[in-house]
C-alpha cells in the first residue's frame, strides 16, 4: 500500500531552523564588532501561514535584551525589555549573524553607550584609546 503525500510548498529565500541558526547567536555590526546575542524572534503572525496553504512564517525581527533573570528563574522577558533589530539588516547567517548597520545605531546598545558616556567618559583618560 502506498500513500501519496502532497508536494512540499516552494519556499523563496533561505529555510533556517530558528533554534539552530538564530537563537543565542552572536550578532556583529557592519564593522565586525559584537553587538548582542539573539534572545528571541518576532515572526510573521499565524494569519500569514494558514494550514493547507499560504506562506510559512518569516522572521521579522531579532529580539535582544536583558533576559538573564528569566533564564534563571523561568518565564519570559516583557516585550518592553527586548530591543528589536529588523531582519532586513541581517546580511549573513552563519556562526554569527552579520548586520549592515553600525552597532551604535541599534537600540540594544543604549546601556553600553550610557555607561561609556556617563561613567567611563568622566574618568581621566577615559576618552582615548590607550594603544
Q: What is the pLDDT of residues 25-63, one digit of tens each?
A: 999 999 998 888 898 888 886 655 555 666 677 889 999
Q: Where are the domains of the chain?
A: 18-122
CA atoms within 13 A on the CB side of 60: 8
Q: What is the pLDDT of residue 26?
A: 92
Collapse the DSSP code of 87 into the 3-class scheme (helix H, G, I; strand E, B; otherwise coil) and give the result: helix
Judge whether 38 and 25 are in contact, CB under 8 Å. Answer: yes
Q: Where does the pLDDT of residue 130 fall: very low under 50, low under 70, confident under 90, or very high at 90 and above?
A: low
With cut-offs at 50, 70 and 90, classify the pLDDT of residue 72. low
Q: Of 9-13, 45-49, 66-70, which range is least confident?
A: 45-49
pLDDT above 90: percentage of residues in the chain: 24
Phi and psi (nearest 5°) for 10? -70, 135
Cα 100 from Cα 35, distance rounded (Å): 12
DSSP structural state of residue 123: S
Long-range contacts of 19-25 (CB under 8 A, 24+ apart): 21/93, 22/59, 22/62, 22/93, 22/97, 25/95, 25/96, 25/97
Question: Distances in Å between the alpha carbon of 8 and those of 2, 36, 47, 68, 130?
Answer: 18, 35, 20, 39, 57
Domain 18-122 belongs to what topology? SH3 type barrels. (2.30.30)
Amino acid at each position: 500500500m502506498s500513500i501519496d503525500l502532497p508536494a512540499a510548498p516552494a519556499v523563496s529565500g533561505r529555510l533556517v531552523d530558528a533554534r539552530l541558526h538564530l537563537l543565542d547567536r552572536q550578532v556583529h555590526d557592519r564593522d565586525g564588532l559584537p553587538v548582542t546575542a539573539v534572545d528571541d524572534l518576532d515572526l510573521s503572525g499565524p494569519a500569514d501561514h494558514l494550514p493547507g496553504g499560504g506562506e510559512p512564517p518569516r522572521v521579522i525581527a531579532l529580539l535582544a535584551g536583558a533576559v538573564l533573570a528569566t533564564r534563571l528563574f523561568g518565564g519570559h522577558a516583557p516585550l518592553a525589555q527586548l530591543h528589536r533589530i529588523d531582519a532586513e539588516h541581517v546580511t549573513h547567517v552563519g556562526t554569527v549573524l552579520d548586520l549592515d548597520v553600525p552597532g551604535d545605531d541599534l537600540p540594544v546598545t543604549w546601556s553600553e553607550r550610557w555607561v561609556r558616556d556617563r561613567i567611563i567618559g568622566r574618568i581621566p583618560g577615559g576618552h582615548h584609546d590607550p594603544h
